Amino acid sequence: MNCIHCGKELHGDEKFCPVCGKPVEASPFAEFEPAAPAAEEGAAAEPASGPAAPVKTIYCRHCGAAISEKAYVCTHCGALVAEPQNASDQKPINGFGLAGMVLGILSFLFGVLFCITPVVGLVLSIIGMAKRKACRLNGFAIAGLVLSIVTILIWGPYWLVGLLSF
């Protein structure tokens, strides 16, 4: 059976998911899920890659129940036993990319008025692309890059005509 909230596999009589901490509920599709095939007699019960590594057991400091060391939440009382790894490892948002996209949108809409905006948006988007490995939400930098380039190509001739007419 899998957790209906996060999809992680559940074992035994757990009352709470060891990953997301939500109460275990029966899946509305449980009657349609195929049953696990029973091991045939004489067939090896372990996978061909070798025996699985034993899971170390720890004890919940709130209720004392035995739980897996990989669990973030006690499966018996629902108490948090470890901080999820991905919560502390989140990368910062790509601010340069976001600023480049905003300037790209503004310059595309109001390009006839401002000729410096797409250039600044292009520069910020390039800086955002350079920082893409250290940041998340890098699609903003790509969008800002594309919008700034398209804006320069569309409004550029108008700016040149305006500059040459002075």
Q: Mind listing the pLDDT tens digit for each residue in 74-131?
A: 877 888 777 666 544 578 888 999 999 999 999 888 877 778 889 999 999 999 999 9
Q: Are residues 79 and 114 in the same domain?
A: no
Q: Are residues 71 and 12 in the same domain?
A: yes
Specify the pLDDT at position 108: 87
Is residue 9, in this structure, part of any structural domain at all?
yes
Q: Are residues 79 and 100 in the same domain?
A: no
Question: What is the band of 41 on the pLDDT scale with cuts at 50, 70, 90?
Answer: very low
- Using the predicted structure, report yes or no on whether residue 159 has a pLDDT greater than 80: yes
Which residues form the domain of 19? 1-30+55-88
Considering the chain, what percentage of its residues have pLDDT values greater than 70?
Answer: 77
Q: Are residues 84 and 2 in the same domain?
A: yes
Q: Using CA atoms in the order 132, 135, 139, 144, what is the torsion angle rounded to 10 degrees?
A: -70
- Using the predicted structure, report yes or no on whether residue 47 has a pLDDT greater than 80: no
Is residue 50, in this structure, part of any structural domain at all?
no
Strand 57-59 relative to strand 66-68: parallel, antiparallel, unpaired?
Answer: antiparallel
Q: Are residues 147 and 79 in the same domain?
A: no
- Using the predicted structure, report yes or no on whether residue 139 has a pLDDT greater than 50: yes
Describe the crossing of helices 139-164 and 117-130 by its angle, rounded to 10 degrees: 150
Q: Is the pTM of this model over 0.75?
A: no
Is residue 41, in this structure, part of any structural domain at all?
no
Q: Report CA-CA distances (Å) from 164 to 102, 107, 154, 159, 161.
A: 29, 21, 17, 9, 5
AA letter at 23: P
Specify the pLDDT at position 150: 93
Q: Are residues 76 and 129 in the same domain?
A: no
- Using the predicted structure, report yes or no on whether residue 153 has a pLDDT greater than 60: yes
Domain count, the chain: 2
Is residue 16, in this structure, part of any structural domain at all?
yes
Q: Are residues 154 and 112 in the same domain?
A: yes
Q: Are residues 99 and 84 in the same domain?
A: no
